[in-house]
Amino acid sequence: MAAGMTHDVLVIGSGAAGLTAALALAEHRKVLVLAKGDLASGSTAWAQGGIAAVLDAGDTFENHIRDTMVAGAGLNDLETVEFVIERAPAAIDRLCELGVPFNREKDDLHLTREGGHSHRRIVHVDDATGWAVQAALLKAAEENPNITLLPGQSCVDLITARNQVNYSGSGRVWGAYALVEETGEVVAHVARATVLAAGGAGRVYLFSTAPRGATGDGIAMAWRAGARVSNMEMMQFHPTCLYNLEVKNFLITEAVRGEGGRLFNPVTGERYMEKYDPERMELAPRDIVARANDDQIKRYGLDYVHLDISHQPPEFVKEHFPTIHEKLLGLGIDMTTGPIPVVPAQHYTCGGVKISLDAKTDLPGLWAAGECTESGLHGANRLASNSLLECFVFGEAAAKDILECWDTLDDPPEILPWDESRVTDSDEEVVIKQNWTEIRRFMWNYVGIVRTTKRLERAAHRIRLLREEVEDYYGHFRVTTDLIELRNLLECANLIVQSALHRRESRGLHFILDHPKTDPVARDTVLIP
């Protein structure tokens, strides 16, 4: 058993939200950043599109706020939307200072447009913005003497007052127990303040653009510790993920449609979006385009639909989408001369741990930022390129609040070490693989883009059966990363299904055939542990 470690602040997650918080905190405090896998394995590095900000002379905060509220189907919190959008230009300035090489036209930032936006306001680095942002943040963190970066750590659970040597039921968070993937030891990382920035739960679905580690760890840990979660039924499905039997999870960015890409039925040759949203066509919000693609695929028995930008000049396409163009060429697809086969896939977790404007959760000592949270920004559907923006704004907000109230935070008490005296090494790893596959398949079939109450009830029944099996397994065997992830996936699947059963209307990303109408008043679905 490794000895426990104590830090000023513990940050769980090394993506945009976690590193933004760490860099701001490190001006005054010692910070430990934990990453599952390597330091760049989260969703930030995968973000192709860009970051939304009002930077164009013809654009206004009011326009960006309105676009966000329209996409979010009125479920957004207006105060949060204003808070985030008004801080966007400053966030871009900080990234420029960190050396992010955004595309430019002469001296001005080049702005592109994506679905749901009324203006060009997406700053980007070609079609690989996330990778450039991740690299710049990591470089700054690695060079900061007050930040310790620790990869290969799978967090098992938050340390709460229940884990104190002198038990308390206060709910206070004191850090996290983490599995050291290399050695199999579980270490108690203790801190005065903890920032949860562990990403979304995309891998609960069979088809997802999320990275392998997006198993809802932060949401599940916070829920088990006693934090409320909100709007977990609002799972965003990206309309255009590459359909390829060899390459999984490759996203074709929204910006392809923003720069003129059109959707066609590969059998009829029809450009079909005018049937679903005649005014905005391919530039409609993602939920509308994803449902249109899903409808065409099911109605005609297709494997995929076509996304075509080959009517644009070849040099234009190569210049705007070099990464995608090169990737597709390697698969025998030339997007300058023909269409790209695409399917919808899970893309973003709009719900999560409920937080305030200062990134506080319900639990004392725990702040949260990024995709694991529900801040009120996205509502019932995230507007394109608002996700990285949320990470920067709430990463900063968490750091600011922690520093301001630092003197009121108690020193950590003595914490119990991780107890594995009653467990053994597993000899049944096949159980984990079987259950993982089953969860992802029934979530895709029963809790996907279009839902029914009967399908949701079937999913809930399977979750009840699996929960007993997984808890029995967890109670008898030493934890591994696969077991931790399976436990968290099942917890998140249950939160999604229970939230979906609570919402008896169709709104944004939650489209249920039994209740096709939208209620006159928008209400959050808040689950209480």
Q: How far apart are CA 273 and CA 279, in angstroms?
A: 9
Name the pairing type of β-strands 229-230 and 526-527.
Answer: antiparallel
> Do you know the residue count of the chain?
529
Name the pairing type of β-strands 352-354 and 373-374.
Answer: parallel
Q: How far apart are CA 387 and CA 385, in angstroms?
A: 5
> Which of 451, 435, 17 is CA-nearest to residue 204?
435
**In the 3-class helix/strand/coil scheme, how is 431-493 assigned residue by residue?**
HHHHHHHHHHHHHHHHCCCCECHHHHHHHHHHHHHHHHHHHHHHHHECCCHHHHHHHHHHHHH
Q: Is 240 helix (H, G, I), strand (E, B) or coil?
A: strand
Bridge partners for 32 per DSSP: 10, 148
Q: Which residues contact 434 (CB under 8 A, 6 or more apart)?
A: none
**What are the C-alpha distances in Å from 230 to residues 69, 130, 145, 352, 496?**
17, 26, 37, 6, 10
Tokens read off for 194: 């903890």
> Which of 218, 216, 212 is CA-nearest to residue 201?
216
| Active-site entry in 286, 291, 503, 507 | 286
Tokens 């935070």 locate to 409
Give yes or no for a contact between 350 and 231, defined as CB atoms under 8 angstroms apart: yes
Q: How far apart are CA 331 and CA 250, in angstroms?
A: 12
Residue 210: half-sphere exposure toward Cβ, Cα within 13 Å: 24
Tokens read off for 504: 């008896």
Residue 523 a catalytic site member: no
Which residues are catalytic, by number? 286
